[in-house]
Amino acid sequence: MGGTAELQVEESTIPGLKVVHLPVHRDERGWFKENWQREKMVAAGLPDFRPVQNNASFNAQRGTTRGLHAEPWDKYISVLSGEIFGAWVDLRPGKGFGRLFTTHMGEGQAVFVPRGVANAFQTLAGNTVYSYLVTEHWTDAARAGYSYVNLADPQLRIPWPISLDAAVISKADREHPLLAEAKPLQPKKIAVLGGSGQLGRAFAVLAQRDERIALYTRAEADLLSPGFASSLDLSNCSHVVNAAAMTAVDRAQTPPGSAEAWRVNAVAVRELAARCAEQGVPLVHVSTDYVFDGAAREVDEQHPIAPAGVYGQSKAAGEQAVLAHGVNYVVRTSWVIGQGNNFVSTMRRLAEQGIGPRVVDDQFGRLTFASELARGIMHLLDTGSDPGIYHLQGSGESASWYQIAREVFALCGYDPDAVHPISTQEYALGKPELAPRPANSTMDTAKLQATGFAQLPLPELLEQFLHASRVKP
């Protein structure tokens, strides 16, 4: 079958399965084609496919039929000689399970097959050579991750050009299960480091309904341990989310705390970014408003970083290590509220104990609930948003810590006037190791919203949080 004058990528009826029409240059000697050309094909619409192994299958007889096999990796198939009829069945869990797509292929066509889509072909000419590039090295152990469906499944009714009774088929392929018995091939995992922190616990809630999320606690991925990243097995991971950090901003100003902050927030992040790049796995790194000096009332992703304290400096260094790899994400946030110790929980506890706290009234920003932060990160991954820096913060007007404390007291049924305002300068008296805080921590989130992420109202989230975590008598 002939090719096209220009490279074209066509969507199929199975999501992620793409048909590639290749230019084939012919003359009296034969033909030539660029069978795989990453730069051109990614520009034309293929994923940034990075194969590690190339296999070829020679099929001597017309009617040779192989499949249907769904494998735990992506692959790119093409015909080097002859002609085939190809059939693909979606074996990924979800509404598309069992969806069929078929097409004829010659030297002018190729197909990108995503992980979890079963592949089969039937040769329509003798001496057909079939080639496929794959993103993982094949091993005997890898076969355990396969899923299969029968070539003759009556529910699929694949229109094979040559009857399967007359086809050349292996015994194993004839005995594959019917679609009704085929096991869905689960997607790759999203590894979340820092599984016991506030953000990690929010991801744990999402993991109850999203089997892709795999949590790693410090026991399983300790960023303080030199060389920790080299031991991470990322072969079955689609992404890594680094929700682990040294966040004790005041202790980071001390010599031992400074060493820990630089180790966890900078050195370990650089090692993690290198490991992810080596394995071809995009990294999502969670960063902070402390990379800014707080002079501007609101900052977007392009605003120059200027960290004032050790914590912010170490996080800024981690950002740069992550952004050195073009497929990665940096998600900056601030004032995170989730399960664990946080400002809102502390204010409620003080209200219940009858204590009127003194709270700074000259630092402004927005709360970010860990549930929203986790949801926003998953949104970026699920929508295939462009890598780079994103600001993810609560919605609404900027407020001071003092204003937020008053709101917490009021929502809990206590007198908000029990909260007393104090300046940052007054609060710092007698605290020589207090880290500098940004006076303004308000972030422009327009870039994130442009990806289609709809933020939930902050007042509603605050009320829900206080209700869900209310201390029972």
Q: Which residues are catalytic?
A: 69, 132
271 touches 224 (CB < 8 A): no
The three-point CA angle 35-41-42 to 5° equals: 145
Query: Which helix (H) or strand (E) segment is 241 a member of?
Result: strand 237-242
103 touches 111 (CB < 8 A): yes
Where do the DSSP E strands lie in 147-212?
147-148, 189-193
Instruction: Return the number of other C-beta atoms located less than 10 Å from residue 219's C-beta.
Output: 8
Q: How far apart are CA 443 and CA 429, in angstroms?
A: 29
Residue indicated by tokens 């609101």 = 298
Distances (CA, A) of 422 to 194, 226, 351, 352, 440: 34, 42, 18, 21, 16
DSSP string, 397-414: --EEHHHHHHHHHHHTTS
Q: How far apart are CA 202 and CA 218, in angstroms?
A: 16
Query: Cis omega (within 30 of 0) on the bond before 22?
Result: no
CA neighbor of 289 nearest in space, from 305, 269, 266, 273:
305
342 Ramachandran zone, left/alpha/beta (phi>0; psi -120 to 50): beta
Pure H helices in 175-254:
198-207
CA torsion 399-401-402-405 (nearest 10°) is 100
Strand partners, 66: 121
DSSP string, 82-150: S-EEEEEEE-SSSTTTT-EEEEEE-TTEEEEE-TTEEEEEEESSSSEEEEEEESS---TGGGGG-EE--
HSE-CB of 83 using CA atoms within 13 angstroms: 8
Q: How far apart are CA 174 and CA 169, in angstroms?
A: 7
For the record, the structure tokens of 150 come out as 């029968």
87 touches 47 (CB < 8 A): no
